Chain A
Amino acid sequence: MRAPATPPVIAPGHTFGTVTDKITSIVLTNKTPLGWWAGFLFVSMFAGLLAVSLTYLVLTGVGIWGNNQPIGWAFDITNFVWWIGIGHAGTLISAILLLFKQTWRTSINRFAEAMTLFAVVCAGIFPLFHTGRPWLAYWMVPYPNTMNVWPQFKSPLIWDVFAVSTYGLVSLLFWFVGLIPDLATLRDRATGRASRMIYGMLAMGWRGSARHWHRYETAYLLLAGLATPLVVSVHSVVSLDFAVSVIPGWHTTLFPPYFVAGAIYSGFAMVLTLVIPIRKFYGMEDFITMRHLQNMAKVLLVTGLMVGYGYTVEAFMAWYSANRYEGFMMWNRMTGPYWWTYVLLILCNVVTPQTLWFKRVRGSVPALFVISLVVNVGMWLERFVIVVTSLHRDFLPSSWGRFSPTIWDWSTYVGTIGLFLTLLFLFLRFLPMISIFEMRTLLPAAKVTEEA
């Protein structure tokens, strides 16, 4: 254990009862807070906007977006990578930090896993709907068919199908397995017949016997062990969509680790963005303490430096390669028509997080909130810069072009944010946002020590 100087992961004075009461009272209440209703209605409007955008997209065609030749990928893939990246923090928090036995993960893991799941849902929309004929997307799945045709397993876009679907499935499984003991708690505490039935069915007859717990812990640890290589491989596969190509600015061996670092960076930023208002609104400061926020800030700082290293190496290699296309690519990023996106990207992703070196910044909730928002924007810009500036000017000057997003590019993007938040609101209302049983194990009363 560290010196007692570090703030605790759970505020003192709590017992098993108070922890359970506090978390379940949010779910098992007949009085839904007005703020929840207001927020839910607001964000579900944007989810509706997504439905409208996608319907219009399918009815009219992908030409409603600003994509063109040579820029065949723009907002669609930018948003896809952004969302997938956001999802990765959830698995990092729940799986990797579990393997490292980090107790501070406990009060944010449930929430982060839900975030992963909803981010994967939003991400999954883009690979599906950026195709010209989304109704034939099942052709990317290897199944015996009357055409005797199978997917091309050399394409990273097919790897994407496997990576994202596996990732979604394992995340769902991990999240659900983690929920089972808590669903049993909700079942036992619920008073309404319907809610007892629903939570009872979801809890699948969990009784919490020693044998249950023993197997549970083994299964959970195994899942964590499986999910960890997934985090690394899934975003690496996503990065290979670019790195496998021949485009200057894409064909880079640095991409797999650099994308994963970026994913964790943006993911932690999103966790901070969401956790700060939620802990305030639901009064969860006892469970999500300054220690959590500070630790997340430290992860932000570390991954931010890795991303910064990535930018440096990219620029260095552009010069060191002595390849005129590579060199021009970097020069174009810095001084071409999209120079401001690159400058903003450096400001958001490299300059801003340097403030996190200071304890005063790490200790200030408003500062962390602002920084996390800035990083979210910065990481979106990173993907935009990689996708668009590499495509719009490459080998042949006769195929140079420009990209400007249309209203539908924006509405689809904003719509997925709406969908994400809608799902998040439903999660907050109907499921325990903090793992109750894991919180109980953190209490002093749960420790069996020699002195006691």
Chain B
Amino acid sequence: MAQIFHRSTNTISRVSLFGVVFVIAGLLWLIAQVHRSPWSTDAHVAKEQPIQFSHERHVGGNGIDCRYCHTSVEASRFAGIPPTKTCMNCHSEIFASSPFLRPVHDSFEDDRAIEWTRVHDLPDFVHFDHSIHVSKGVGCTTCHGPVDRMPLIAQQHSLQMEWCLDCHRRPEAFVRPRSAVFSVSYQPPANQLEIGRRLVDQYQIQKLTNCSTCHQ
């Protein structure tokens, strides 16, 4: 009787035996990577906006304080997107005839809100509060990146829960003096941990990692 399997089957069986392990391990690794990548988190992805608003020009160029537009950031859970009225404070005169600003003028005349595209969009089962972070010494750029150098706003971090928890578990690595919260040029000093620990004490920062902190 002829052999059922050709001699080459030996190689195939050996390769498949070892291959399967690597293929499965590789697949699991790939899934984990894709899940953390911008492809899934939208980090570093500049999104299409109705108006090409440039933070680089307004913050970096003109030196406008964050709170001029995002007025409620110290008092409310939401930092707020400025209404058309805020834009018109200046742009009723400055570049008033620019075609780039057409939608702003339209919005002002028609009394219709500009439909900005939200870039930092947490799911609604997460209750994020801006005011508490600002008052406990978390700077804008820690979470939102160098906004003053962004022509188009893009998310800088994954906003995944592991990213939140990393700071909630060791806030001393990220916290800065309250006076520097709105500084876009602030860089963490070399002795950040030392200063951070002091600030954690001073601001009475609790390491809140229980569910009810965010998932109320």
Seen from chain A, the residues whose Cβ lies within 8 Å of a Cβ on chain B are: 144-149, 187, 196-197, 200, 205
Chain A residues positioned under 8 Å from B4 (CB to CB): 187, 196-197, 200
How far apart are the CA atoms of A148 and B169 in the complex, in Å?
Answer: 12
Q: Are B5 and A147 in contact (CB under 8 A)?
A: no
Most buried by A among B36, B158, B162: B162
Chain A residues positioned under 8 Å from B13 (CB to CB): 205
Chain B residues positioned under 8 Å from A149 (CB to CB): 161
Question: Smallest distance from the beta carbon of B34 to chain A beta carbons, Å?
Answer: 11
Sample of 14 A–B contacts (CB below 8 Å): A145-B162, A146-B35, A146-B36, A146-B158, A146-B160, A146-B161, A147-B160, A147-B161, A148-B165, A196-B4, A197-B4, A197-B5, A200-B4, A200-B5
Chain B residues positioned under 8 Å from A145 (CB to CB): 162
| Chain B interface residue number, banded | 10 to 19
How far apart are the CA atoms of A144 and B36 in the complex, in Å?
Answer: 12
User: What 8 additional pairs, Cβ within 8 angstroms, besides A146-B160, A187-B4, A197-B5?
Assistant: A146-B161, A147-B161, A147-B162, A148-B161, A148-B162, A148-B165, A197-B4, A200-B4
How far apart are the CA atoms of A187 and B1 in the complex, in Å?
Answer: 12
Q: Does B32 interact with chain A (Cβ within 8 Å)? A: yes
How far apart are the CA atoms of A415 and B32 in the complex, in Å?
Answer: 36
Question: Smallest distance from the beta carbon of B126 to chain A beta carbons, Å?
Answer: 11
Which B1-54 residues sit within 8 Å CB-CB of chain A? 4-5, 13, 32, 35-36
Chain A residues positioned under 8 Å from B35 (CB to CB): 146
How far apart are the CA atoms of A146 and B158 in the complex, in Å?
Answer: 9
Question: Smallest distance from the beta carbon of B159 to chain A beta carbons, Å?
Answer: 10
Chain A residues positioned under 8 Å from B36 (CB to CB): 146
Most buried by B among A146, A147, A205: A146
Q: Are B5 and A146 in contact (CB under 8 A)?
A: no
Binding site of A, secondary structure by majority: helix, strand, loop or mixed?
loop
Question: Smallest distance from the beta carbon of B160 to chain A beta carbons, Å?
Answer: 4
Question: Smallest distance from the beta carbon of A361 to chain B beta carbons, Å?
Answer: 50
Chain A residues positioned under 8 Å from B5 (CB to CB): 197, 200
Chain A residues positioned under 8 Å from B162 (CB to CB): 145-148
How far apart are the CA atoms of A318 and B13 in the complex, in Å?
Answer: 61
Q: Return the chain A residue nearest B161 by Cβ.
A: A147
Q: Return the chain A residue nearest B35 by Cβ.
A: A146
How far apart are the CA atoms of A187 and B36 in the complex, in Å?
Answer: 48
Q: Return the chain B residue nearest A147 by Cβ.
A: B161
Which B165-213 residues sit within 8 Å CB-CB of chain A? 165
How far apart are the CA atoms of A148 and B209 in the complex, in Å?
Answer: 11
Question: Smallest distance from the beta carbon of A382 to chain B beta carbons, Å?
Answer: 37
How far apart are the CA atoms of A144 and B162 in the complex, in Å?
Answer: 10
Most buried by A among B4, B35, B158, B161: B4
How far apart are the CA atoms of A187 and B5 in the complex, in Å?
Answer: 12
Chain B residues positioned under 8 Å from A146 (CB to CB): 35-36, 158, 160-162
Chain B residues positioned under 8 Å from A200 (CB to CB): 4-5
Chain A residues positioned under 8 Å from B158 (CB to CB): 146
How far apart are the CA atoms of A148 and B161 in the complex, in Å?
Answer: 7
Binary A-proximity of B132-163 (CB < 8 A = 1, otherwise 0): 00000000000000000000000000101110
Question: Smallest distance from the beta carbon of B216 to chain A beta carbons, Å?
Answer: 17
How far apart are the CA atoms of A205 and B162 in the complex, in Å?
Answer: 48
How far apart are the CA atoms of A197 and B12 in the complex, in Å?
Answer: 14
Chain B residues positioned under 8 Å from A197 (CB to CB): 4-5
Chain B residues positioned under 8 Å from A147 (CB to CB): 160-162
Question: Smallest distance from the beta carbon of B39 to chain A beta carbons, Å?
Answer: 13
How far apart are the CA atoms of A423 and B162 in the complex, in Å?
Answer: 43
Q: Are B32 and A144 in contact (CB under 8 A)?
A: yes
Q: Return the chain A residue nearest B160 by Cβ.
A: A146
How far apart are the CA atoms of A28 and B23 in the complex, in Å?
Answer: 35
The 8 closest A-B pairs by CB, nearest first: A146-B160, A147-B161, A148-B162, A200-B4, A148-B165, A146-B162, A196-B4, A146-B35
Question: Smallest distance from the beta carbon of A383 to chain B beta carbons, Å?
Answer: 33
Chain B residues positioned under 8 Å from A205 (CB to CB): 13
Q: Return the chain A residue nearest B5 by Cβ.
A: A200
Chain B residues positioned under 8 Å from A144 (CB to CB): 32
